[in-house]
Structure 1
Amino acid sequence: MKLSDDGFDARRLRPRGSGNWRWRALGALAALFAACGVMLSMAGAATLLGRPPALGPLNDSAGAAIVLLLFGLFLLWGGVNVWRRCRRRMRRQYGNDLSLSPRLLKKRG
């Protein structure tokens, strides 16, 4: 690619970043935590509603079921928040649009 005399470099218009796999892996781990949170909260709610315990002796009392429900909801909330932050970071950092200078976007006239 030819560089002009005024210092313009076309490669700066589309920055290529490395490290996208880190955000993807963290997002996948967060989605896994959110899925585990759904399962744990469903098991705790099933015990509280009078169904047989889903996890055996781990949640056979009402207190243990409440703890399991709250821990599952917290895990779900944390997993969804981390997943959303990872997606936002990936889109902001590695967008498909051109990153033009504000000087180039001014209207001429």
Structure 2
Amino acid sequence: MKLSDGFDARRLRPRSASSWRTRLGAALAALLATFGILLSMAGIAALLGQHSVLGPLNESTVAASLFAVIGLALLYVGVMLWRRCRRRARHANDLNMAPHLLKRRD
């Protein structure tokens, strides 16, 4: 296929917005996941009998199990948010073409 003189490949790519929002979102999501890991580890350690982990908050097994569950929930939310920010940052560099024209990756 012969390329015309007016063809510019840069028009196929969309204008990329500044990526500081996605980077900041990914950093906050990583911090959220890290905090979730630490909180769930503290809750599990309190359940296993290390009572000095949570200090005065470790009054019952219900509180320790609540810390573990909240920590796992924060970990899940942080990982999902991080994956969404990463996916959004990668799709900014894709070609701006119709999906049925792109090559399928199976």
TM-score range, shorter chain: 0.7 to 0.9
> Which 10-residue stretch deviates more, 45-54 or 31-40?
45-54
Q: Output the aligned Cα RMSD.
A: 2.4
Q: Which residue of 1 aligns with 2:48?
A: 49
Distance 1:85 1:100, change over 3 A: closer
Q: Which residue of 1 aligns with 2:20?
A: 21
Percent of aligned positions with the same letter in both sequences?
54
Q: CA deviation at 1:58?
A: 1.7
C-alpha separation in 2, matches of 1:72 and 1:100: 40
Q: How many positions carry a matched residue from both structures?
A: 97
Q: CA deviation at 1:54?
A: 1.2
Segments of 5+ residues of structure 2 without an aligned counterpart are none
Q: Which residue of 2 aligns with 1:38?
A: 37
Segments of 5+ residues of structure 1 without an aligned counterpart are none
Do the aligned residues in 2 keep the contact of 1:36 with 1:76 (CA within 8 Å)?
A: yes
Do the aligned residues in 1 keep the contact of 2:26 with 2:86 (CA within 8 Å)?
A: yes
